[in-house]
Structure 1
């Protein structure tokens, strides 16, 4: 953790278990009150039955992984299905439902979209804090009758993606990468959201090193999500691209899908 983290105890058994695991992994003692903390520190706490992380003294919304409502729920219902660029990028328009390794899980938003479209998705997340948020989001999704069939198609591995990919004995149809990249949007809101998320994840200096093991592990293709004007990952040009307004998908095609 590049930023100091505090942990508040919870009465919710599932959330308390996640908080205890975090405290053990990061060698952090539990704090007793938000009022005892100085402004700027990150706090992991129970937000009415949801694991949350927020900056102490801030009015910003806390980070919570919610696969049931919010943006994920709206995109599940109205997101455009297989016509979305991410769906085309992983090959869903080829009449297949590929297995996907999302090696840069983050808050699981893209993984959830792909699972909602029928893919079995394995996420990797190396930040213990973000992994705990994902675990809690999956727990609540599995308890929801509408979303549980999607959540059942998602799984989580904790650790360094480069190391886990190199050591994996399992192949995946598609490896999906969305490494952190410096955001330069002018919107103050976007900057605040990204600043908090980057505080959780720390620096991402080894992003270029993701591509080689991903190419070794994928059966059909590697898909890299990039800001529209960002350089190619590891300086390696893709087979082709899908260009959007804010981002693009670089596809490294290894062989054709058999529909």
Structure 2
């Protein structure tokens, strides 16, 4: 009897630490694609993570993100959490988030800038016609981020990047060239679904997902919220659900 009680006690201690270890595992600090996430969805979640990261660092007045390309340590943990939510098949909240296709607002902010240029510049003409400008520093940017020009009329062009980058920093770099008079990143226009980062630590992230509907180009009339706690182990906890009833 005594041995049986000791066995039960030891089993309880083991289960306690096993369960605790499941929720205290740290998120990866390098970019990892979950095998259950397709390439196309991964690219969307990657942009989500970068937008969430950029918004969080700006609003919290934390470390400035001063480079064109985001560092993995800025957003790898967020990306891992987003993938955990996307592949989760247990939580009703995760199922609804996939059903209503909730993502971070304004992916265009990572892909596009606008410039005003000297239309007589051979550098601009070459960039538009051949994909390089004959200006070494600019050509390095064009090559690194596959920057493509799209004429908007007169002296205005849209600059498209093939990957999600910090367009605000890119615009600052572009303005340094004498034949580029003005440069600015794309603005976020309209309203819609959103994902916000409320808190994060190495092993826990608090995300607020929201789905908006009803005249969203002008500002969504209705909105539903899910607050999720995501652990580094992949466990997901619904912290709260609020807002309008889902349509």
Q: Same fold (TM over 0.5)?
A: no
| Bigger Cα Rg | 2
Tell me the TM-score range normalised by the shorter chain.
under 0.3
Structure having greater relative contact order (Cα 8 Å, sep ≥ 6):
2
User: So what's the TM-score if we normalise by structure 1?
Assistant: 0.23
